[in-house]
Amino acid sequence: MSGLYLNKAVPNTYQYFPLNEPEIGAAQKPEDDQNLLLFKPLTIRDVVFKNRIFVSPMCQYSSDNGHATDWHFVHIGGFATRGVGAICMEATSVVPEGRISPQDAGLWTDTQIEPLKRIVNFAHAQGSKIGVQLAHAGRKASMHAPWVQSKAGSDARAFADENEDGWPSRVYGPSEIPYSSRYPKPNPLTEQELLDLEEAFSAAIERCKKAGFDFIEIHGAHGYLFHSFLSPLSNNRADQFGGQSLENRLRFLLRVVKRCRAACDRPLFVRISASDWAEFPEKDESGVWKQWGIEQSSILVGKLKELGVDLVDCSSGGNWREQNIPVVPGYQVPFAEALKKAHPDMPVGAVGLITEPVQAESILKNGQADIVFLGRELLRNPHWPIMAAQKLNVKVKPANQYERAWY
């Protein structure tokens, strides 16, 4: 006999973990990642993502005063061991009153760093890139967790009251326009409060760096604070941050992104809603903006590119209570495609009922997006990347511990 046959360890980790060579979710033959874009590595700044299957940020409503728990460790760790190219952790508020629900994640204090660092360290030990979505829920803050609201019924108030650990009197937005009659009436943010939020986002970026995240995403979608500033449906301010002027409605988000870019030494993403899905045109015949849509989104993406944003995560909806969305497979991909056509050199992520491997690969092959974000499909099947590789006839590395289930 010659040589030693060792169960190699991942170097420089806090515990023993078997080393995967190549990394979990990477094509085992170099030529395979050339033939399939889904498993072709992507480099953004100096971060190499081993494939283009990204986990969408998905709220878990399971934090302890904003602190991640063992639920998050297991939830996120499951994705890290199953071959995704990157994981974006859930909407994480930069201030307590910016949480969607009382049990939402936060990064407004240093004690919230260590539980996240534990998750990040485990993900890195499995060869997975991991980021976090920084957020403020705006006028959609202080909500019940979905299963709590389900028990209350669709006609009940949607928000958590003070005796339910909520803060309905301290919900903020651009204007006094509530999302619906079942939501709190928001307090319009003053210019000083907007400056304070800039500071809060910048401080949260520093905490992200201490936790070790590989990338950071700013949540500008789904009717939360930034989206509500962008849309004329929710922003009727008369100052430099609102009204009919598109420049004014863009101002707050762009100022925060500029601050975050200056503080962030790693890839910076921004998630946007490309349409409010209201039943009337984005702009009327006289040129008055009526809702947020793809034309304004394209202008916004151009400005984000100028500020040094590295990727736009393109979603839609969430700001107009009466939205009527035709939910079909890939229903949001046309928005990503439009932004990609307008800005070919800006990496774009596509979302929205992407469930089938051939579907995901075709989105990339057709140039509609550079990566795909999967959410509910990965909740149903965390092994989706390995399953997708099998369906696409490419051999991808499973975790050593799971390899016998696949090959």
The CA distance from 307 to 300, in Å, is: 11
DSSP lists the bridge partners of residue 272 as: 220, 314
The CA distance from 80 to 88, in Å, is: 11
DSSP code of residue 221: -
Query: DSSP for 357-386?
Result: HHHHHHHHHTTS-SEEEESHHHHH-TTHHH
CA distances from 152 to 60, 158, 160, 166, 301 (A): 19, 9, 11, 15, 39
The percent of the chain in helix, strand and coil, each rounded to the nearest 5, is 35, 15, 50
The CA distance from 332 to 118, in Å, is: 34
Tokens standing for residue 172: 């903020």
DSSP lists the bridge partners of residue 130 as: 87
The CA distance from 351 to 56, in Å, is: 8
H or E segment and range at residue 215? strand 215-220
**CA neighbours closer than 13 Å in the CB half-sphere of residue 35:** 12
Catalytic pick among 14, 224, 402, 407: 224
The CA distance from 184 to 157, in Å, is: 9
- 183 an active-site residue? no
Sign for the pseudo-dihedral over CA of 186, 191, 193, 196: positive
CA distances from 199 to 91, 202, 317 (A): 18, 5, 28
**CA neighbours closer than 13 Å in the CB half-sphere of residue 327:** 5
Question: Scanning the structure block, which residue is given the tokens 């944003």?
Answer: 309
CA distances from 280 to 136, 292, 303 (A): 28, 11, 26
Let me know: does 203 contact 95? Beta carbons within 8 Å: no
Annotated active-site positions, please? Answer: 224
